[in-house]
Amino acid sequence: MAVNHLGIDAGQLEGATLALLPGDPGRVDLIAATLDDPTALASEREFTTWRARTSGRPVVVTSTGIGGPSLSIAVEELAQLGVRTFVRVGTTGAIQRGIAPGDVVISTGAVRLDGASRHFAPPEYPAVADFGVAGALIEGAAANDIRFHLGITASSDTFYPGQERRDTYRGYVLPGLDGSLAMWRALGVLNYEMEAATLFVMASTMGLRAGAVSGVILNRAETESLADGAVAVAEQNAVLVATSAAGLLVEL
Ligand code: URA
């Protein structure tokens, strides 16, 4: 029987226990195409799913949409179908100097600026990556000669005010968010994205494994503008790291 939102059933996964999770449905076929035997399974709302193979074993690639709430649906339903290891592959804005567009961030943990993770554990509970998955991502970066940064990510529910963006329609952020980017930078946070905290808390509380790699599309210590081609390079590098890691993780 197909799960509620993803529109796939366990038989279609052919026993896959590892999922690659981009946000963008348009990236799923591109990621699957870098693996062996890519096969489209379903496309429902923001959730597009393909199956492929790496090291001879099945893996599933499912888009989560943007943010924790929709990611939580994808992770829940993939877990129902037998997936036990989750690798988020996304994009990010760096906030520390010395992180260049095209580098990747491998998150060891995430500041819980989301709401969805609170539906799985109280705010005192840490959002941490699985060390085995993070280690495989490090090996994936090294194998592809991609510069990586290892550390803490901030996962925000919103792209604009939660990441203290002022180049917006209203140009205003609430007092509670005013100065938040500088604060997270002072506390050593590397980058902003929108999904890792929900993923990490779900995985830890449910006995699953999760990691996250994000391609850097801009460094907000230097600019608020995207350079031409920056997104494509960041995505490509994050995908290389994640698919290399998948090859290691399915063999474990
Ligand atoms: N994704 C985010 O959430 N923030 C950025 O700055 C870039 C990508």
> What residue owns the CA closest to ligand 1's atom 1?
92
Distance CA 171, CA 162 (A): 13
Q: Is 193 near ligand 1, meaning CB less than 6 Å away? A: yes
pLDDT in tens, 49-77: 999 999 999 999 999 999 999 999 999 99
Domain boundaries, the chain: 10-249
pLDDT in tens, 160-183: 999 999 999 999 999 999 999 999
* CATH of region 10-249, choose from 3.90.1150.10, 3.40.47.10, 3.40.50.1580, 3.30.390.30: 3.40.50.1580
Three-state secondary structure call for residue 229:
coil
Distance CA 60, CA 229 (A): 28
Q: How far is the CA of 159 from the centre of ligand 1 (A)?
A: 6
Q: Is 77 known to be catalytic?
A: yes
Evaluate whether 195 touches 68 at the Cβ level (below 8 Å): yes
- Which atom of ligand 1 is least distant from the CA of 193? 3
Model confidence at 251, in pLDDT bands (50, 70, 90)? confident
Distance CA 241, CA 29 (A): 17
Q: Is the pTM of this model over 0.95?
A: yes
Residue owning tokens 């993939």 = 78
